[in-house]
């Protein structure tokens, strides 16, 4: 009887349990509502659109949102380092456009896609080379790199001057040293391709390494520069000899900034500093010429000297004489300035260090024009200082610069700076119905030092007149001395 009573209950329980496992799948899992599907689709699409927008360096979000946020939420140096890390990661924005043919330029017989480069100081240790090329720069210059690692000056050492579109830094060459930077340059080289068009590993582009001195090196020693040439020569297109930093003791003494004495006849007091510059240029060019041809590029690197905007006309003229007698391939004009224009209004205007950005532009242009007039057309000049727009770049071209570099403008206007300058430059060139190469050629031909014709037999030159004047002065001094003795 008990079994009979339990039978129907057991059967019912089994049926219920069996039904639980045999229900259609659609009744086990709740369906997504149409509303959820719409939200999901919108999220996916908006995320995709943001990624596309972020990866385009031209996007307004970079200039008007991300860059200002970095500038006002982080101190200047931390913001700088963050930007380098983003570009290093490979997740940075890119310039998606091809360069207009009007922007083609030429350096040392090599065609370059556009005339806009990034100056040394942004990527000090060669961490973000490809990230910078991705932004459209045709010249990426890393450094300054010192032989031994050094921390640079104490923080804080970088100061924004937003009201003046300027920047003051006293970094003092913080560097991870030659071995670390060299390792990064080696790591960029593809394993299965031995020869390349250039060390940039990009068509129509240039990779430059800016060479600096360690703080504890003797002021009159050139060994740090020579070592840099030997270390980075095989892995670079251009080596920049930086004797223009105001934040490292001794460099501007090499440049004859502080001890230089003017004059044609009384040159002995300035001879020591001139000889030091001659020694430097001779040493680095000899080291370059002794390098074997690079296995990477099948040639040796070009050598460029970087100068200060704080030199006067007489100093630049004498430096030009030394450059002409050397095998230096070009000159960058200029680095930061120790001068402080009276119109500066920013709170940080009195900080010690080198001033860059818009306030330096008049000084750099003046130095560029002066040097252009004292050098032959065969030695190209690269202009740097206060370039924010295409009009600024064109002004440098008309002053005799074959190429330009940006630094502070890049920091203020973000990753789209290079593309905006190039687009603005194209508009300016279209207005004038010309090209960058034509503007440069016209300016260089008109403003450069003209070759001095060889004197005809019997013709008297100015140098001969000066020499004869010196000899005559010597004779007069001796005559005066004899007359004084006779009178005594």
* C-alpha triplet 405, 115, 88: angle, nearest 5°: 60
> Cβ contacts of residue 427 below 8 Å, gap of 6+?
390
Q: Closest by alpha carbon to 237, among 95, 129, 98?
A: 129
DSSP H stretches of helix in 134-196: 178-188
> What is the rounded (10 degree) CA torsion for 315, 319, 320, 322?
150
156, 77 Cβ separation under 8 angstroms? yes
> Cβ contacts of residue 281 below 8 Å, gap of 6+?
241, 305, 322, 323, 326, 327, 328
DSSP H stretches of helix in 196-297: 223-232, 251-254, 271-290
439, 400 Cβ separation under 8 angstroms? no
DSSP helix/strand/coil, 170 = coil
Burial letters 338-376, b for 16+ CB under 10 A, else e? eeeeeebebebbebebbbbbbbbbebbbbbbbbbbbbbe
Active site residue 175: no
Q: Is the peptide bond before 144 cis (omega within 30 degrees of 0)?
A: yes
Pairing of strands 166-169, 158-161: antiparallel
| Identified catalytic residue from 144, 236, 244, 245 | 245
CA distances from 219 to 175, 225, 255, 284 (A): 18, 12, 11, 16
Tell me the sheet residues that pair with 355.
168, 337
Task: Count Cβ atoms within 10 A of the Cβ of residue 453 and give its class: 0-12 exposed, 13-18 middle, 19 or more buried.
Answer: exposed
CA distances from 360 to 13, 155, 188, 354, 420 (A): 90, 24, 35, 10, 21
- Residues acting as catalytic residues: 245
């Amino acid at each position: 009887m008990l079994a009979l009573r339990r039978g129907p209950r057991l059967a019912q329980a089994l049926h219920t349990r069996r039904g639980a496992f045999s229900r259609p799948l659609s009744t086990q899992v709740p369906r997504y509502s149409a509303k959820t599907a719409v939200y999901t689709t919108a999220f996916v699409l908006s995320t995709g659109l943001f990624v596309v927008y972020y990866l385009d360096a031209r996007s307004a979000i970079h200039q008007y949102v991300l860059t200002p946020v970095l500038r006002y939420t982080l101190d200047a140096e931390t913001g700088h380092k963050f930007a380098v890390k983003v570009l290093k990661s490979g997740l940075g924005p890119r310039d998606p456009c091809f360069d207009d043919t009007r922007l083609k330029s030429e350096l040392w017989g090599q065609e370059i896609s556009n005339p806009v480069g990034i100056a040394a100081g942004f990527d000090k240790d060669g961490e973000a080379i490809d990230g910078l090329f991705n932004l459209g720069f045709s010249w990426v210059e890393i450094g300054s790199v010192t032989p031994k690692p050094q921390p640079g000056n104490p923080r804080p050492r970088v100061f924004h001057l937003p009201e003046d579109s300027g920047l003051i830094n006293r970094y003092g060459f913080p560097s991870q040293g030659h071995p670390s930077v060299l390792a990064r340059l080696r790591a960029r080289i593809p394993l299965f391709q031995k020869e390349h068009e250039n060390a940039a590993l990009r068509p129509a582009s240039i990779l430059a390494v800016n060479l600096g001195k360690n703080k504890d090196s003797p002021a009159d020693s050139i060994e740090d520069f020579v070592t840099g040439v030997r270390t980075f020569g095989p892995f670079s297109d251009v080596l920049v000899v930086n004797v223009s930093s105001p934040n490292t003791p001794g460099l501007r003494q090499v440049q004859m900034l502080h001890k230089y004495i003017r004059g044609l006849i009384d040159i002995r007091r300035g001879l020591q500093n001139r000889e030091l510059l001659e020694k430097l240029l001779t040493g680095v060019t000899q080291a370059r010429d002794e390098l074997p041809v690079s296995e990477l590029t099948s040639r040796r690197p070009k050598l460029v000297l970087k100068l200060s905007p704080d030199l006067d006309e007489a100093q630049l003229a004498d430096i030009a004489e030394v450059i002409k007698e050397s095998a230096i391939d070009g000159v960058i004009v200029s680095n930061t300035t120790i001068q402080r224009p009276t119109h500066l209004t920013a709170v940080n205007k009195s900080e010690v260090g080198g001033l860059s950005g818009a306030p330096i532009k008049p000084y750099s242009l003046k130095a560029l024009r002066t040097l252009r007039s004292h050098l032959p057309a065969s030695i190209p000049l690269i202009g740097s200082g206060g370039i924010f727009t295409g009009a600024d770049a064109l002004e440098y071209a008309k002053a005799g610069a074959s190429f330009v570099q940006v630094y502070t403008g890049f920091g203020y206007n973000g990753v789209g700076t290079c593309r905006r300058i190039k687009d603005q430059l194209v508009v300016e060139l279209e207005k004038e119905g010309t090209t960058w190469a034509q503007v440069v050629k016209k300016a260089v031909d008109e403003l450069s030092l003209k070759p001095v014709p060889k004197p005809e037999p019997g013709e008297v030159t100015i140098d001969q007149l000066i020499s004869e004047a010196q000899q005559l002065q010597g004779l007069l001094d001796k005559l005066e001395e004899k007359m004084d003795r006779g009178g005594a």
